[in-house]
Amino acid sequence: MHEMSIAQSLIEIIQEEMARNQAKTLRSVRLHVGEMSAIVPDSLSFCFEVITAGTDMEGARLMMDIIPLEGRCLSCGEAFRIKDYVFLCPFCGGSEVETVSGQELSIVEIEVE
Ligand SMILES: [Zn+2]
């Protein structure tokens, strides 16, 4: 389950951030999880709970915004939503498509006390 190591590294980042702000309690964390980031949100939630149990981060809320997969066609420059992982431009049929969003995993907000 690779969510365990992802949760672990998220927690390390959060801990550094809390130390920098001299925060004692973690209330919530908001993540942007790309549709194509290969992360199962439920699984990540579970791992987060397991790792934070018994620590001063226990009970913190993990919120996840799922970011849709979007691409841009390199031939005509149009941006579009990629559905079912079909990397084809709906405007000109071009197959050279760069991913604009949907692969990220980032912490966008940490609420501490
Ligand atoms: Zn195109």
**For residue range 19-46, what is the model confidence (pLDDT) as tens digits?**
999 998 999 999 999 999 989 999 999 9
Q: Ligand 1 center to residue 65 CA distance, Å?
A: 28
CA–CA separation, 79 and 81 (whole Å): 7
Q: What is the pLDDT of residues 40-83, one digit of tens each?
A: 999 999 999 999 999 989 999 999 999 999 999 999 999 999 99
Q: Ligand 1 center to residue 77 CA distance, Å?
A: 6
pTM: 0.85
Q: Ligand 1 center to residue 70 CA distance, Å?
A: 13
Q: Which DSSP state fits 93?
A: -
- The residues, ordered by sequence, that sit 6+ positions from 11 with a Cβ below 8 Å of its Cβ are 48, 51, 52, 57
